[in-house]
Amino acid sequence: MDEPSGGAHRRPDQPRVELTAAERADLFAQLAVSLHDSGGVEETVQAVVDFALQALRCSHAGVALSRAGKPEVPAATDPVVEEIFLWLMAGREGPLVVSMREHTTVLVRDTELDDRWPDWASKVRSLGVRSVLDVPLTTAAGTVGVLGLYSVKPDAFDADDQAIAQILARHASVAVATARKEETLALAIDARKLVGQAMGILMERYQLDEARAFEVLKRYSQDTNTKLRDVAQQLIETRKLPH
């Protein structure tokens, strides 16, 4: 699991400053710039959780992502969020799991009164959390993660907070999807470069043409059940093909 990166944090006892409509609009503009300038998925979601602490009635925030069916926690504002996410990722039920699985927003107004997930409620109460808002990060391809918002106060998230969280989640969904697409493209370009270098080594060493050199790499990839990129990387580093 990826380690959450550090970010802004409002202390539970620190009063939340109410923002005017103009101030919130300015924050959203700043968020758009931050997301545009982010260099990858981790930077993108960190910008999202930092924004959440400024614009919403939450004491803690974090983002849980799903990649190839495996959970990741690329950003959390503090250890409280990390501990909740780790607890849920151990296979337990809770609102975040439901939000990701059913692609729906889940609101828990008071963890002392909500009886849908008793074990989860007991866990988060022990960490001082009284209300929770989990919003799915959804794209055309499906749900890519969940924005988790937590407050030490009961019934902390009103209708305005929920509406802003939905807008924020849409921003985050597009940004994460775009960042992942760029990462995938970068990996593909890198793989092509590695394969090209490996082919050049084979062509020079064994006097093979380009097509034959590629066939050799592909055969070793299939015979050893190793990705073509990794076969090429090993050849470049060791000047030997895998046994």
pLDDT tens across 62-86, in order? 999 887 667 788 889 999 999 999 8
Identify the domain containing residue 197 by its residue range: 187-238
Residue 1 forms part of a structural domain: no
**Number of neighbouring beta carbons within 10 Å of residue 50:** 19
| Rounded CA separation 53/118 (Å) | 27
The residue assigned the tokens 């909500």 is 114
Whether 176 is in a domain gets the answer yes
Between 24-38, 131-145, 204-218, the lowest mean confidence (pLDDT) is in 24-38
Identify the pLDDT of residue 150.
98
Mean pLDDT of the chain: 84
Domain count for the chain: 2
List pLDDT tens digits, range 109-130: 999 999 999 999 999 999 999 9
Residues 161-173 as b or e (16 or more Cβ within 10 Å = b): beebbeebbebbb
Domain identity same for 204 and 114: no
Residue, of 24 and 126, whose pLDDT is higher: 126
Between 174 and 11, the more confident residue is 174
CA pseudo-torsion sign 61, 66, 70, 75: negative
Q: Are 38 and 47 in contact (CB under 8 A)?
A: yes
- Any residues with CB less than 8 A from the CB of 180 and at least 6 apart, and which? 41, 67, 144
Residue 88 lies in a domain: yes
Rounded to an integer, the average pLDDT of 51-60 is 89
Domain stop point among 184, 207, 225: 184
Comparing 31-40, 67-76, 163-172, which segment has the lowest mean pLDDT?
31-40
In this structure, is residue 4 part of a structural domain?
Answer: no
For residues 89 and 120, give the distance between their C-alpha atoms in angstroms, rounded to a whole number.
12
* pLDDT of residue 193 exceeding 50: yes
- Angle at 66 (CA atoms; ends 232, 111), nearest 5 degrees: 155
Q: 10 Å Cβ neighbour count for 33?
A: 11
Q: How many residues does the chain have?
A: 243
Average pLDDT estimate for 134-143: 87
Query: Do 110 and 130 touch, CB atoms closer than 8 A?
Result: yes
Query: Is 10 inside any structural domain?
Result: no
